């Protein structure tokens, strides 16, 4: 990776020159414009767009707050506590985390560019990544059921991330890719972190995913047979944990998640 940092009048650009040799701020607005014209909006909440570059298909995500804060601040984040340090901004932190996960051999998007724009006491942020093949687990289950082997593969993937210490802040059916013929992968690492492996946050991740699947199940159609599919996911999870577990981490207890 050849990381380049460029200061602008109203913020910063960070980009990997090995992928895109020269990045200007206009790349981000052009990406949104071309994506809107082609209708290639990425699935899920927030503002995310697919677009083409000479280096291949990319996805641009514009950071936007959720919940009550989103209604008040929209896509703006406090800049003041950062003391103008761009590395403390959320897009920068996700860039760094993705690089760490890639170095561990985990299937995550490769970060390509970050843009930060100052707005008084606030900033706005964008992250460009390589697009991974496949569709989200939620979209797949709205079309067809998965085999039990695929559910086991998903469980084993989550265990690999957990063994690496990745606590995913929003593990849900929109943040897992499970397309036909494609390897499963995990996306959206905003506010995620690496931490010592512990049963408490591992169980919380799994419980959040199960709640997400149950929520989608209330839509129709949605091919999730909880009794069999979730048991297969846990089987894959526990099998991966059992083969790779560090004795200091203790035994996996994902079966406690109901």
Q: Between helices 226-244 and 199-217, what is the axis angle to 10°?
A: 160
| C-alpha to C-alpha distance for 67 and 65, rounded to whole angstroms | 7
Joined tokens for residue 257:
């998640």
SS3 of 121-133: the string is CEEEEEEEEECCC
Closest CA to 98 of 155, 45, 19: 19
Q: Are the beta carbons of 156 and 137 closer than 8 angstroms?
A: no
170: annotated active-site residue: yes
Instruction: Point out the catalytic residue in the list 47, 139, 170, 244.
Output: 170
Scanning the structure block, which residue is given the tokens 């709205």?
142
Give the CB-side neighbour count of residue 23, counting CA atoms within 13 A. Answer: 29
| C-alpha to C-alpha distance for 234 and 46, rounded to whole angstroms | 29
User: Which residues are CB-contacts of 240 (< 8 A; sequence separation ≥ 6)?
Assistant: 155, 156, 159, 160, 163
| C-alpha to C-alpha distance for 28 and 191, rounded to whole angstroms | 22
Joined tokens for residue 239:
């099998």
Cis peptide before 221 (omega within 30 of 0): yes
Query: Hey, which residues are catalytic here?
Result: 170
């Amino acid at each position: 990776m050849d990381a380049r940092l460029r200061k602008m009048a109203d913020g910063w650009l960070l980009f990997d020159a090995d992928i895109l040799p020269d990045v200007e701020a206009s790349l981000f607005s052009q990406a949104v414009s071309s994506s809107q014209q082609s209708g290639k909006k990425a699935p899920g909440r927030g503002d995310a767009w697919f677009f083409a570059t000479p280096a291949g298909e990319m996805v641009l995500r514009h950071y936007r707050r959720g919940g009550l804060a989103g209604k008040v601040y929209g896509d703006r984040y406090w800049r003041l506590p950062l003391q103008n340090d761009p590395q403390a901004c959320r897009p920068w932190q996700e860039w760094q985390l993705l690089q760490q996960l890639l170095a561990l051999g985990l299937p995550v998007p490769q970060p390509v560019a970050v843009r930060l724009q100052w707005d008084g006491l606030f900033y706005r942020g964008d992250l460009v990544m390589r697009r991974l093949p496949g569709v989200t687990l939620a979209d797949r289950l709205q079309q067809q059921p998965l085999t039990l082997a695929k559910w086991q593969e998903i469980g084993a993937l989550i265990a690999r991330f957990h063994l690496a210490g990745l606590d995913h802040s929003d593990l849900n059916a929109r943040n897992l890719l499970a397309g036909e013929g494609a390897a499963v992968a995990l996306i959206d690492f905003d506010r995620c972190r690496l931490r010592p492996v512990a049963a408490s946050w591992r169980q919380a991740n799994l419980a959040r995913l199960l709640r997400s699947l149950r929520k989608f199940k209330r839509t129709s159609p949605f091919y999730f047979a909880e009794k069999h599919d979730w048991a297969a996911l846990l089987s894959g999870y526990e099998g991966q944990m059992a083969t790779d577990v560090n004795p200091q981490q203790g035994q996996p207890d994902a079966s406690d998640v109901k």
